[in-house]
Amino acid sequence: MDSERRKIRIQDLTGVAPWLDKNGIPIDLEKEADGRVVGYAPATDEVYRLMAEYQAGPMVQLLDFLAFQRRLRGRLLDLRGDINGHMGNGRNGQRSSTWHGQKR
């Protein structure tokens, strides 16, 4: 229970999570029972300061931020078991047998 109090649940995995990761705060991704993946960060003063800084809309190097965002997304998809970002259709990211109304 004590370890639960020292973590902050982060659901914004495309915004604040890459920002924290970029600033040296490790993001732990965990898969929940319903298949959803959420992130956790340590509950420290530094994390709260960085979250407030992110909400204020800081100037960032876009390509650097996107690199952290892509890396975090890759970890998320790996944890969920997605292939090519597609989930639940049983085809592992393949197209269906019809394409623009025509049979292939």
The DSSP-derived string for the chain is -HHHHTEEEE--TTTHHHHHHHTT---EEEE-TTS-EEEEEE--HHHHHHHHHHHT-----HHHHHHHHHHHHHHHHHHHT-BTTB-SSSSTT---SEETTEE-
Supply the pLDDT for residue 80. 82
CA-closest candidate to residue 7, choices 22, 21, 23, 28 = 28
Distance CA(31)–CA(56), nearest Å, equals 29
**Mean pLDDT computed over every residue of the chain:** 80
**pTM (2 decimals)?**
0.69
* CB-CB contact of 20 with 41 (8 Å): yes
Distance CA(62)–CA(59), nearest Å, equals 9
Residue 51 sits at φ, ψ, to 5 deg, of -65, -40
| Tens-digit pLDDT profile for residues 43-79 | 999 999 999 999 998 898 889 999 999 999 999 888 8
